Amino acid sequence: MGIGDKISNKAQEAKGKIQEKVGDARNDPNQQAEGQANQAEAGVKQGGENIKDAARNVKDGFSN
């Protein structure tokens, strides 16, 4: 995956943080939960990106 996916993941994480803060301000547990879910989903996606990057680095190490 490329830089575009990483940017998208960071944007989703930021959206989740904002959504959670708005939920805090409005005392809206549903919005808080949705914001937390967005953050968690972005974290999982970013973890997948990190694993792919590590695997690519290992593969490149054997190619050289």
Secondary structure (DSSP) of 7-54: HHHHHHHHHHHHHHHHHHHHT-HHHHHHHHHHHHHHHHHHHHHHHHHH
Residue entry with tokens 């989740």: 16
Average pLDDT, the chain: 92
CA–CA dist 24, 10 (Å, integer): 21
Q: How far is residue 13's CA from residue 61's CA, in Å, rounded to a whole number?
A: 32
**For the chain, what are the domain ranges?**
13-59
- pLDDT higher for 24 or 63? 24
Model pLDDT for residues 29-50, shown as the tens digit of each residue: 999 999 999 999 999 999 999 9
Which amino acid is it at 37? A
**pLDDT of the residue at 3:** 86
